[in-house]
A and B are shown apart, each in its own frame.
Chain A
Amino acid sequence: MKGSEGTFPILVGIFALLVALASTALSQSTTGTVSMSATVSKFVELNSGGAITLTGNSGGGITTNGTVNNPLAAVVNLGELGPANTNSFVTASVPLKLRSNAAYVLSLSATVSSSGSTANEITAADVGFGLGSVVRSGVGVNTTGTDTNATAGDPTLVANGSVNGTTGRYNFTAVRSNLSAFSASTTALSGSFIMNAVPRSNTNGLTVPAIFAVKPQFYETGTTTVVATFTVTAP
């Protein structure tokens, strides 16, 4: 074949290259890798810590109770708050349960609206508020964590209120001891991470009672509505 002396080496070269490439394509390896990554974001949770306790009430009652480990959406009727109620205080203790994998802040924002029109109507300052004892217990809970209660605790404590010598009206006088301090979202409790590395199915956590109290007085007649909204965050 004319010119075959030049064509043959090229064809052989291409063939050999294909063989080499084919071998490379099928080349094998004695190692392989599986690379892994995972992300843990900050997580906080607020639920009911259990049934609400209502004491000192005359009439009224718990309309929607708290159910432990379920979202908190309680409704309480404090009943009669005029002098017809001869108890020292009407008190509602609402258990809260908090869980987090990071430092947390529990804030409260409250509104108080009364049907009255005078200074003698029930105001936010007349609704005592405080957080009771903070308890970290149970398997999976960071029991060595610390918490800072920004309230004065149980508002019915003697140290937290007294009759105003000028007006005669009972006042919750301690720092953050009534809802006027929470007209805007304000920190009530903060602390270090609550849960160790345990699954969400672990139902333990930090529990704390939110205590609301009203001292029956000669308030202006009418009705009052209090809405308290708790929010937990991980700043």
Chain B
Amino acid sequence: MNGNTYCILVLFCLLLIGGVSLAPAQALDISSGGSPTITGALSGSVSGSSSVLNNLSVTVDFGEVSPLNTNNIVKVVVPIAVRSNQPYRVRASLTTSTNANPQAVQTTDIGFGVNNFRAMGSNSRVCTRSSHIFYSPFNNDPSSGVTINASGRAQYPSDLSDIVGSTTILSGPRLSNGGASRATNDGYIFDAILVITPQFYAPGTTTAVITFTISAGPAVPC
């Protein structure tokens, strides 16, 4: 094998690798939509990439949610970017630690909603024949709909208990122009909103993980 043949083989392999990683990227993508924010927390925090070019990996610490936190509500807003060259849907699934004590923080105690769908930039595909749809009951800001149930406990229009299995929260037509490689201007961003009201919960810690997945959606025209 001479040098040029070897070179061509190496080139082919590397392009193949690049192509493999690029191929699915052209179809469907979910990433950070910018810096997440937290308000009303006592010793709480949220961390995640501010760049829409990075993967979505956000860590939320609601902090103290007993009455030691005198704020009315702890609210976290997580921007999520989505891109596609085809109709899409976004699903959410939940993994959580179960606490058998009904007075401990339950999935019903963490409000969850989505809203504020907006274009990222000039390569966001504008479709006129179909809409991007937030699915009920998630299409709300749960901090704006806090009510008290008959037991005196805070409740929300939608919460983590509404995520059953893999639950669709958003779908719509194509999101991106061109090849839809991950760029700063080629898709849409929406906000995932998580809230919890400080209450007389039973002492302890609670953990939960929401996994957002984008996949091919209903075949709607652009």
- A: which residues have CB within 8 A of B? 5-6, 8-9, 12-13, 15-17, 19-20, 22-24, 26-43, 45, 99-102, 139-140, 142, 193, 195-202, 204
Q: Are the C-beta atoms of A36 and B209 separated by less than 8 Å?
A: yes
Asked if B116 is an interface residue, CB under 8 A from chain A, the answer is no
Q: Are the C-beta atoms of A39 and B63 separated by less than 8 Å?
A: yes
Q: What's the Cα separation between A197 and B67 when bound, in Å?
A: 10
Main SS of chain B's interface residues?
mixed
Q: What's the Cα separation between A33 and B6 when bound, in Å?
A: 42
Q: What's the Cα separation between A13 and B22 when bound, in Å?
A: 19
Interface 0/1 of B10-28, CB less than 8 Å to A: 1100110111011011001
Q: Are the C-beta atoms of A43 and B10 separated by less than 8 Å?
A: no
- B: which residues have CB within 8 A of A? 3-4, 6-7, 10-11, 14-15, 17-19, 21-22, 24-25, 28-32, 43, 53, 55-68, 70, 72, 78, 80, 83, 102-105, 109-110, 148, 150-154, 181-183, 192, 194, 196-215
- Give the tally of cross-chain contacts (CB within 8 A): 230
Out of B43, B103, B198, name the residue touching A193 (CB < 8 Å).
B103
Q: Are the C-beta atoms of B200 and A37 separated by less than 8 Å?
A: no
B186 to chain A, nearest CB (A): 11
Given A19-B15, A34-B210, 13 more pairs with CB closer than 8 A: A9-B10, A20-B18, A31-B213, A32-B55, A36-B61, A36-B210, A39-B63, A41-B66, A41-B68, A42-B203, A196-B151, A198-B151, A198-B199
Known A-B contacts A24-B18, A34-B56; the reply to A200 vs B200 at CB < 8 A is yes
Q: What 7 A-B pairs are tightest by C-beta distance, nearest first?
A: A32-B56, A140-B152, A28-B29, A23-B18, A9-B7, A28-B25, A195-B200
Q: Are the C-beta atoms of A38 and B211 separated by less than 8 Å?
A: no
Residues on A with beta carbons closer than 8 Å to the beta carbon of B78: 34
Residues on A with beta carbons closer than 8 Å to the beta carbon of B31: 28-29, 32
Residues on B with beta carbons closer than 8 Å to the beta carbon of A30: 24, 28-30, 213-215
Residues on A with beta carbons closer than 8 Å to the beta carbon of B10: 9, 12-13, 16
Residues on A with beta carbons closer than 8 Å to the beta carbon of B204: 40
Out of A9, A24, A26, A32, name the residue touching B4 (CB < 8 Å).
A9
Q: What's the Cα separation between A195 and B199 when bound, in Å?
A: 9
Out of B28, B103, B212, name the residue touching A33 (CB < 8 Å).
B212
Residues on B with beta carbons closer than 8 Å to the beta carbon of A26: 22, 25, 53, 181-183
Q: Are the C-beta atoms of B59 and A35 separated by less than 8 Å?
A: yes
Residues on B with beta carbons closer than 8 Å to the beta carbon of A195: 200
Residues on A with beta carbons closer than 8 Å to the beta carbon of B64: 39-41
B146 and chain A: residue at smallest CB distance: A199
Q: Are the C-beta atoms of A34 and B153 separated by less than 8 Å?
A: no
A26 to chain B, nearest CB (A): 5
24 of the cross-chain contacts (CB-CB < 8 Å) are: A8-B3, A12-B11, A16-B14, A19-B18, A22-B18, A23-B18, A26-B182, A28-B181, A29-B55, A31-B213, A33-B212, A34-B192, A36-B61, A38-B61, A40-B65, A40-B66, A40-B105, A40-B206, A41-B64, A100-B200, A101-B203, A102-B202, A139-B151, A199-B154
